[in-house]
Amino acid sequence: MQYRILMFMSRVICCLPHSCLMSLGKGLGILYYKFIKKQRNLAIRQIKRSLSLPEAEAERTIRASFINLGRNFLEMLYMPHLSKENFTRYIEIENLDRLKAALAEKHGVVILTGHVGNWEWLSAAFTFSGLPVTAIAKPQPNEQYTRVLNDLRATVGVEIFSRGTSELLAAARALKKGKILGFLADQDAGPGGAFIDFLGRPAATPMGPAVFSKKFNSPVLPAFILRQPDGHHKVVIGEIMRYEDNGDSDKDLFEFTEKMTRILERIIRENPTQWLWFQKRWNTPPDEKKERHHVIKSEEAEH
């Protein structure tokens, strides 16, 4: 039932102008801010601690972030409206030549990004630019919502590998075929992550971007989609980054992950209203850290 309702909403929303989505999304975000107390309070606590903001400023910033979230939600449902012919009405891409040059190396490209702006539209910007995009996605607690998300992603040509399946092998194959592999690198990575200071506190950080870059000699490009004051989006693509082999694999992977974390942290500090502040980024305490080597354990990935 939820699947049908959301897909019906998508069909209706796709008939509206984008400016209408911005107004409706603002209202939806304000309602979310007012009535979803648990997530609002968590977001306020985390932004106060991370950015040392006074209470009033923290509340204003989080309210604005909830408005962006409301707009993101409606834009997600709007994805079937996007096409190769019209996406440039809504999305501007800076330095796309960097990504094309990296793909030309034929080792695939690892995209470093996070829950900044409308991250679902970041993939759409690349697919409609004629580039092959894959991503590893975490299934939602609600199975029907996961199905909606994946069906909407399919309308813009994104190939999704779900966590908890054979996603590492599938992602390895994608890179070997010269495709883009996107990572949301701002999620709690659990005890197996690298504990790196993130916005002032140690956080279990995913090492996937560094591990895949090392394994397949794939360049890494930071790429973020930022909502502009007029409601449209700008994709910002950073300089190519490369794994450096200095003889100590674990140390080299950790330092590369730390370097990428600093980039993500800077983007969030510069655009605090566009990050998902209520996610459980610091959920795993450092004393739960597991000592292990970071490798892709798949024989088939070797061949």
For 72, phi then psi, to 5°, come to -60, -40
H or E element that contains 287: none
Tokens read off for 211: 């591990």
CA–CA distance, 115 with 225 (Å, rounded to integer): 9
pLDDT at 216 over 80: yes
- Angle among Cα 285, 185, 52 to the nearest 5 degrees reads 60
When pLDDT is cut at 50, 70 and 90, the band that residue 167 belongs to is confident
Q: How many distinct helices (H) and strands (E) make up the chain?
A: 10, 9
For 110, phi then psi, to 5°, come to -95, 125
Which pLDDT score, from 0 to 100, does residue 292 have?
56
Which pLDDT score, from 0 to 100, does residue 215 have?
94
When pLDDT is cut at 50, 70 and 90, the band that residue 164 belongs to is low
pLDDT at 137 over 70: yes
For 166, 269, 293, the CA distances from 299, given in Å and listed in that order, are 13, 40, 16
CA–CA distance, 20 with 181 (Å, rounded to integer): 33
When pLDDT is cut at 50, 70 and 90, the band that residue 294 belongs to is low
pLDDT at 295 over 70: no
- Flag the least confident range among 64-73, 105-114, 175-184, 291-300: 291-300
Tokens read off for 116: 């900044």
Please state, rounded to an integer, the average pLDDT across all residues of the chain.
92
CA–CA distance, 113 with 123 (Å, rounded to integer): 11
Which pLDDT score, from 0 to 100, does residue 168 have?
79
| 250 Cβ contact list (under 8 Å, min separation 6) | 293, 294
- Flag the least confident range among 61-70, 142-151, 272-281: 142-151
pLDDT at 129 over 70: yes
Q: What is the pLDDT of residues 68-93, one digit of tens each?
A: 999 999 999 999 999 999 999 999 99
When pLDDT is cut at 50, 70 and 90, the band that residue 28 belongs to is very high
For 68, 92, 132, 183, 203, the CA distances from 46, given in Å and listed in that order, are 18, 31, 36, 23, 13
Tokens read off for 46: 């985390």
| 56 Cβ contact list (under 8 Å, min separation 6) | none
